[in-house]
Amino acid sequence: MNRMLTEFDCPSCKHSLVRRKNRYGYFWGCRNYPDCQMILPDEQGKPGKRRQKAQSTGEACPECGQGERVERTIRKGQRRGQTFIGCSRFPACTYTEFV
């Protein structure tokens, strides 16, 4: 059994997804990145469902200048349910601001 052979299809293109890790934990990105920027959350080692579209604020991200500030809600951990502002380019940009 080779875990590296586990393949999941990207829902956006015909490439496969690869599991990656950043300082917030695991997520799934497309092998075709950066041409395809599909990102899926990790759910017990498998790609999870696509997150609901984040609430747009219509303001540019002050950190990268390319993304947009979007309102998100924390789903896990001690701060679950708390709202924060993040960048639409997450996880490429990790800008966050608690409100």
Please list, in sequence order, all residues whose beta carbon lies within 8 angstroms of the beta carbon of residue 73, skipping any fewer than 6 positions away: 81, 82, 83, 84
Please list, in sequence order, all residues whose beta carbon lies within 8 angstroms of the beta carbon of residue 90, skipping any fewer than 6 positions away: 39, 67
Is 68 a residue that touches Zn ion (CB under 5 A)? Answer: no
Of the pair 18, 64, the CB lying nearest Zn ion is at 64
d(CA 19, CA 6): 10
| Closest C-alpha to 14, from 41, 40, 36 | 36
Is 10 a residue that touches Zn ion (CB under 5 A)? Answer: yes
Given 27, 29, 40, 61, the residue binding Zn ion (CB under 5 A):
61
Given 18, 36, 54, 60, the residue binding Zn ion (CB under 5 A):
36
Given 28, 38, 72, 85, the residue binding Zn ion (CB under 5 A):
38
Site residues (vs Zn ion, CB under 5 A):
10, 12-13, 15, 30, 32, 36, 38, 61, 63-64, 67, 87, 89, 93, 95
